[in-house]
A and B are shown apart, each in its own frame.
Chain A
Amino acid sequence: MSKYLLNRLLIAIPTIFGVTVLIFLAMRVIPGDPLQLIVSESDGIYVLSEEELQAVRASLGLDQPYYIQYYDWMRQVISGDMGSSFWNKEPISGMILRRGPISAQIAIMAVLLSWLIGVPIGMLSAMWRNSLMDHLSRVGITVFIAVPSYWLGLLIILFSVLVFTWRPPITIIQLWEDPLGNLSMTVLPAMALGLGLSAATARMARSAALEVLFEDYIRTARAKGLKETLVVWRHVFKNAMLPVVTTTGLALGGLLGGAVSVETAFAVPGLGKLLVQGMTERDWMMIQNLVLLYGLIYVIINLLVDLSYAFLDPRIRYE
C-alpha cells in the first residue's frame, strides 16, 4: 500500500508542475500580451494609455523575462500571496477564503443530495427490474443526465419567483454566521447541481446492484435461508457502493465546472462567479490564480479518489 501511495504521489508532482506551466504559458505566450486584451477591449471598461500600460506591466512584473516571472509567481503562490484584483485592489487570497467555503458547501450539499436521491432509486430500480418503477426511473435518469445544471437552476429561479419572493443574495453569509440565511442562499444552487448528479449516481447504483444481484454469493446467501432484507443490506448494498463512490469522485470535476455556471445563474457569491467575473473583466492575476486553484483542487480530488479506490479494493494496491 505504501509503495502504491508513494508512486501515486510522485506522479502528482509533475502533473501539478505541468498545470502551472500550462496556465503560465496560456496567459502569456498565445496572444502576445495579456494586457493588450484590457487595452483593446475599450468598450466602456477602461482604456490604458501607453505610460499607464508600462506602469501596470511593471507592477505585475510582466516586463521581466519569463523564467523570472514564473519563479516569482510560484514563490508568491507558495507563500500564500495571490496578488490582488486589478480593478478594486482587493487581495485575491482574502476573496478565496471568503468565497471558497460557499462553493465547497454547495458542492458537498450537491453530492449528499445525489446520494440521498440516486442511491435508493438505483437500488430499488435494480431490485424491481422491469417494473413500472424501474421504467419510470430509467426515463427520469435519461432526462436528468441531459438537463444542463445551469438551466435547471434557471427553472428553479423561475419557479421560486412565482411561488415565493426570491432574490439574488447580496452579501456572503457563512454557515457559522447565520445558518438560515446561508442555507437560503445555498440550497437551491445545490439542488440544481445535485439533481443531474443524482441521475448519474442512480444509473451507476442500478447497474452495479444488477451486477451484484447475479453473483454466486447472493444465490448462496439466499439458498442458506438468509432473509431478503439482510441479503440486500449486507451483500448487495455493500458491494454495489464501491462503484458509486468512485463515480461520485470522478463526477466532481464536472461538478466543479458545472458549479461555475450554476453560481452565475443564481448570482451566488462563490468562487465560480468570481472566476467568471474575473474573466469578463479580464482581471489578469485573478484568472491566473483562480484557474490554478481549480486545477489544484481537481488534482487533489483525483488523487483522493485513486487512493480511496485502492483502499477499498485490495486488488489494486497489490498490482
Chain B
Amino acid sequence: MADINVNTVNKYFGDVHVIKDISLDIKSQSFTVLVGPSGCGKSTMLRMIAGLEDINSGTISIDGQVVNDLPPKQRNIAMVFQSYALYPHMTVFDNMAFGLKLEKRSKDEINERVNEAARILQIEDYLLRKPKQLSGGQRQRVAIGRAITRKPKVFLFDEPLSNLDAALRVQMRVELAKLHNELDATMIYVTHDQTEAMTLADDIVVLDTGIVSQKGSPLELYDKPNNMFVGGFIGSPKMNFMPSKILSKSADSTEVDLMGMSKISVPKLSASSSEGDAVTLGIRPEHLVVNGDADGSWESKVFVVEKLGDVTYLYLEKDGEPLVAETEGHSEIKVGDSVKVGFPAGRCQLFDSSNQAFK
C-alpha cells in the first residue's frame, strides 16, 4: 500500500520555474503515467518523488509520510533510468543484488530474490555476464530487474523504453503491463510517447510547462480533453483543429460555422462564450466520415494518401490548414480526388479563445 500525495509542489532551477504548484494524488497500486512534451517538467517531477531532486516548496508524501527530507533509500522506491545506468564493472547478478547487499540481506535471500526477478524478466541465462555483453533490450531488463529485487512500494520509470527500437519497445511495453499485474506495486512512469501512456496507464497526468494540464483515465483524456493541449497531445495522428466561430447558442448545443461552407450544432456548452466568439473546432481523424453522411460536411481535394494497411490517412487542405481523415485500409481514393468529409457532431470538440474545452 503506497499512496503518493504531491501537494502544491514548486521547483525552480535558478530563475526557471519548472514545476508550478502541482498537486497530485496517486493511488496505491495504480499505474500512473506522467506524459508531456520535453521540458514540461515530467522527469523533474519523477526525480523529486525519488528524492534525487530537492523541492523548493510544498510536500510530497508516500504512504502518508512526508518524505521531503528523506534520502531516496528511505523512501522505499526503486527507479529505472532511461539510459539503464547499469554498473559496468559488475555482472548482471551483482547489478541486481547490489541494493540487497547494501540492505545486508542474507546470501540465500539475495540469491532467491535475484533468481526470482531473473525468472520474471527471462534473463536467467545472462546472470554472469557483464552489461557490455548484453543487447539494449537485455540491459533494460536488467535495469528493471535491479528495481524488482528490492521489492519497493513504488516503482519509478524515467522513459525506460525510449532507447529501444520500435519492435522491442512494443514487446517491453506489454511486459511492463504484465509486470504491473504481477507485482501489485505503485508505478509511476514518465514518457513523452502518448502511445505508451495510453496503453499502460490506469491514470494519465498530462503536464504542460510545469502545470497539470489534465489528469484522468486514458479514455477520459481521449474523449473529453480539458483543453486544446491535451486534445492535440493524446491521439495519433493528432486531432484536427479548425478555426471557427459561434453562430448561435441553445440549451444543449452550440452552433458553429464549419469551414465557412456549412454549419454544425455541437452538443457542448460553455457559459463564458457568446455568439460571434472565435472558437476552435477539433475532431480526430478517425471520427471523420469519408464520403458518407454526417451532421455537417465539407469537400476537399486529397493532397497525400498514406496507406498503412489497416487504415488509410488522407491529407486534405483548407486555406493552408492541413486536415487528416482516416478511412478504410483498402480505400480506392487517390491523390487529386475530391472527397466529402462528414463531421459527426457528437465527436466534435470546441475550444474557446483561451484554449479551454466546452463541456
A binds B: no
Chain B residues with CB under 8 Å of chain A are none
